[in-house]
Amino acid sequence: MGFSMLRHIYRLTGKELRSLWADPILLGFIVYVFSAAVYTIATGAKFEVEAARVAVVDEDHSELSRRIAAALLPPLFRTAEQITPAGIDTAMDNGRYVFVLEIPPKFESDALSGKTPTVQIDVDATAMAIAGNGAVDIQNIVLRETAAYLRKDSGTSATPVNLVMHTKFNPNLNSAWFTSVMQVINNIATLSIILTGAALIRERERGTIEHLLVMPVNPLEIMLSKIIANGAVIVAAALLSLQFMVKGVLGVPIAGSVPLFTLGMVLFMFSVTALGLLLATYARTMPQFGLLAIPVIVILYLLSGATTPVETMPAWLQFLMQFTPNTQFVSFSQAVLYRGAGFDLVWPQMLALLAIGGVTLGICRVRFAKTISAQD
């Protein structure tokens, strides 16, 4: 790469930055997605149970049944309400309760006599995440309270096995620690594709692409200038969001090296900005580009491991997703930011990002050259 090429890229990058700075709506959108959007999603899209509505059908009216009902407390649940068996169906159909705990007659006496009485939990599974986690919480509460009551009655003070659980990286199982970082990653991918693609489409719609054709620049210089300019803005916005919104406002601890994460983010940004330019070469207007970009962004986000574990997907899909930059960057980010991994552990993901970016950039260069030539 000669001095002349570097000078052309520098000047074209400056042009791209001035064009971006002159668009207040786009700048406002960047600020929003890395601030308010991150906070809203992190605090609103929760996977843990919080203030769930629960009712108890107590047909035993014993000390043990009252003890179980009293253990359903905030913040996991709202104060349990007592209802009759006849009111279960109506209450569940109307969505008044997510859970209804049915305690049968003679529950306490059967438990004290060594029998295994059955307690039924009715769950409204339309709230899928809360339903699954909440049912487990109620089951644990019933087992814990019953075991404590039976130990008290028998005079023993300890159980045969004492289970001690150690939760690493997220001791309180706070979903905001997960969703906030994953949202920043999603915003990096989304804006990298949208900004670079929109930059090329904007050149075409405004007619300034013809100006580039008469300049002594080649397609690679034009393409790299758009990648560098938009990528620099995204990297800066993401780092500010990570420092002030994720770590400062939301209180999410950053376990690993921020410089190492920045290096990986640059490699990731390099891959997805090239993908954005590649999509833009197949579109002639902004609506066409949007129709191409939206399904790509959604698929990459949903199947990258940022919302659900990759291990839960079919084997063939897991294999295919290893060739996408989002999957590699999500794995890299979780290792660095959550578990404090160093370069010796994440270099395979970084190498994969570099390879994916190089291939995408090569394909994009061919398509970009054809697009420029078609303007002659």
Q: Please tell me the pTM assigned to this model.
A: 0.78
CB 226 within 8 A of CB 199: yes
**Stretch (H or E) spanning 237:** helix 219-240
Task: Give the residue among 170, 165, 187 at the shortest CA–CA distance from 338.
Answer: 170
| For residue 159, pLDDT beyond 60 | no
Q: How many CA atoms lie within 13 A of 3 on its CB side?
A: 0
What single letter denotes the amino acid at residue 57?
V
CB 357 within 8 A of CB 267: yes
Least confident of 11-15, 245-249, 338-342: 11-15
What are the residues facing 123 on neighbouring strands?
Answer: 99
Whole-angstrom distance, CA of residue 276 vs CA of residue 196: 6
Average pLDDT, the chain: 84
pLDDT category, 160, cuts 50, 70, 90? Answer: low
Which three-class secondary structure state does DSSP give residue 208?
coil
User: Average pLDDT of 29-42?
Assistant: 89
All domains of the chain, ordered by start, with CATH?
Answer: 3-45+174-374 (no CATH), 54-154 (3.40.1710.10)
pLDDT tens digits, residue range 244-271?
Answer: 999 888 888 888 899 999 999 999 988 8
- Residue count (the chain): 376
CB 371 within 8 A of CB 281: yes
List the structure tokens of 311: 């291990």
Whole-angstrom distance, CA of residue 231 vs CA of residue 333: 18
Whole-angstrom distance, CA of residue 177 vs CA of residue 81: 32
- DSSP category for residue 241: I
CB 276 within 8 A of CB 195: yes
User: Which of 111-115, 263-267, 366-370 has the highest mean predicted lDDT (pLDDT)?
Assistant: 263-267
CB 65 within 8 A of CB 109: no
Cα three-residue angle 319-227-247, rounded to 5 degrees: 75
Cβ-proximal residues to 5 (8 Å cutoff; 6+ apart), any chain: 221
Whole-angstrom distance, CA of residue 109 vs CA of residue 60: 9
The per-residue b/e assignment along 27-49, b for 16 or more CB within 10 angstroms, e otherwise, is eeebeebbbebbbebbeeeeebb
Task: Give the residue among 52, 18, 210 at the shortest CA–CA distance from 123.
Answer: 52
Least confident of 137-151, 169-183, 284-298: 169-183
Q: Match 């790509």 to its residue by tokens.
A: 296
